[in-house]
Structure 1
Amino acid sequence: MTATTHFIRCSLVIIGAIIAAIAIEWFLLPNSIIDGGIIGISLILNTLTQINFGLLVFLLNLPFLYVGYKHLGGQFFLFSLIGIVALAATEAVLHHWHLAPLTSTPLLATIFGGLLLGLGVGLVIRNGGALDGTEILSLLITKKLPFTVGECVLVFNIFVFAWAAFVLGIENAMYSILTYYVAAKAIDAVVEGLDSTKAVMIVSKKYEQLTKAITDDLGKGVTRLKGQGGYDGEEKDVLYVVVRRMEIMRLKKTIYTYDKNAFFTIINAHESRGSTFTRKEEH
């Protein structure tokens, strides 16, 4: 990593942490709404003890940062540490100013607070860091037990939101669950990109015409795979193509134009890279 790239990533991590702090201080905390994970636990403890939220996030994340350093490397540790320190410092400054919350309507705080929090956390994750140690813990658990990272985080957050129901009340706990959902979707959008891609597999006897049409009309590379019917044992040609979400309807129209009986499946592709995705090139 060059010095310029390193500086840009550090800057984006800091910006992400600042955005997350704004979401927490101006939307969530004033309305007694929390998020999941370490941030959620810190918000609950802040309500119970009045200990500074930023300090709680920093202290509770320290053990996870150490584990991350051991298992994910020094670069992850550095970016995470920068993000967590920036989050704690920004939250302390915002709290010191005692500015009025931007809204006192719980639903608005939930939606916009969740969106901002997801945007901030997503920027940090996209640039190689983390603001919450639960994902690190989950990575270690999945090596020992037959669970996914998402399942481990979900189980952990069930206990967090159950605790929130006792401390903040049932209604605030429900708003908190909604905040967690909104933030998670926003994180996915930032990390994976808004312009998501789709992988399409097409089974058709008119594969040659379809290959030419997809390449010429959509400008997409097409990979032809060899398949075999499970019932009749007949050999089949399977076309594999990756398109952007906005191009799905054009692809469907192209398929139906050449073969109304074609079978195809559309699968979410989290990331697509390579020359065949961006320029005309037939395999």
Structure 2
Amino acid sequence: MADAAAKKSPVGFWSSSSDRHSPLEDMQGIAAGSMLAALGVTMLSSAHLLIGGTAGLGFLIRYSTGLSFGLVFFALNLPFYWIAYKRLGLAFTIKTFAAVAFTSVLTEFLPGLIAFDHIHPVVAALFGGLLIGTGMLALFRHRASLGGFGILALYLQDRFGWRAGFVQLGLDGVVLALSFFVASPYVILCSILAAVTLNLTLAINHRTDRYIVR
């Protein structure tokens, strides 16, 4: 009886229930996920690697034009917020916007605070992909994402039961195919390794039937 009452009780800013995160927990989860993702992006960028999704498009534009990754990444995600609002709700959209904005800001400042003087591309691919995947996993568990293909992947998982990691892996393949225009075959192979690491992290660890907290 006590457990049932606790589950039905309203969630305050500090307290959560067995099936719902508190606002404070959401804030911490979104901040942590964004920080991990930004560190992963910084690691990949230090090795001049790419990744899939809108982050991959951001890398392609940055390497081709010299524009700021953070600004490009933020702008590329803008069209996806309408889909997020219509399909996944206002709360998801607001939290995703916050995550994308925070990640964009962090990727601008981290290179001046953390320097990788030497990092092997394979190591960057494995650790960078794992960091971004873990960051996205934290965001997914707080009903948020890094926007772009992540929004579409989450929608398809909720609507059809398709694994978000596998959906995003297919979309990432398209982005990585475009990288042949700006990168060497070795860099592309390492970038594919990063994308596989990221998406396997999501596919193995993120299932709605195992983690039901909202």
TM over 0.5: yes
Aligned to 1:271: 210
Query: Relative contact order (C-alpha < 8 Å, sep 6+): which is higher?
Result: 2
Aligned to 1:185: 200
Does the Cα contact within 8 Å between 2:141 and 2:211 map onto a contact in 1?
no
Partner Cα separation in structure 2 for residue 135 and residue 148 of structure 1: 13
- Going from structure 1 to structure 2, the CA distance change for 1:28 and 1:184 (only over 3 Å counts) comes to same
Does the Cα contact within 8 Å between 1:38 and 1:61 map onto a contact in 2?
yes
Does the Cα contact within 8 Å between 2:132 and 2:198 map onto a contact in 1?
yes
Give the 3-state SS of the residue equivalent to 2:124 in structure 1: helix
Percentage of identical aligned residues: 24
Q: Which has the higher strand share?
A: 1
Query: Do residues 6 (structure 1) and 12 (structure 2) align?
Result: no
Q: Which amino acid aligns with 2:210?
A: E
Aligned to 2:37: 20
Does the Cα contact within 8 Å between 2:81 and 2:147 map onto a contact in 1?
no
Structure 2 portions without partners, runs of 5+: 1-10, 15-21
Partner Cα separation in structure 2 for residue 186 and residue 15 of structure 1: 17
Aligned to 1:78: 94
Q: Pick the aligned partner of 1:35 from 41, 47, 51.
A: 51
Structure with the greater alpha carbon radius of gyration: 1
Query: Do residues 165 (structure 1) and 175 (structure 2) align?
Result: no
Structure 1 portions without partners, runs of 5+: 193-268, 274-283
Q: Could you state the TM-score of these two structures normalised by the residue count of structure 1?
A: 0.61
* RMSD of aligned Cα (Å): 2.9
Q: Could you state the TM-score of these two structures normalised by the residue count of structure 2?
A: 0.79
Q: How does 1:177-216 map to 2 (within 5 A)?
A: 177-188=192-203, 190-192=205-207
- Going from structure 1 to structure 2, the CA distance change for 1:60 and 1:270 (only over 3 Å counts) comes to same
Does the Cα contact within 8 Å between 1:39 and 1:132 map onto a contact in 2?
no
- Going from structure 1 to structure 2, the CA distance change for 1:114 and 1:183 (only over 3 Å counts) comes to same
Q: Which amino acid aligns with 1:174?
A: L
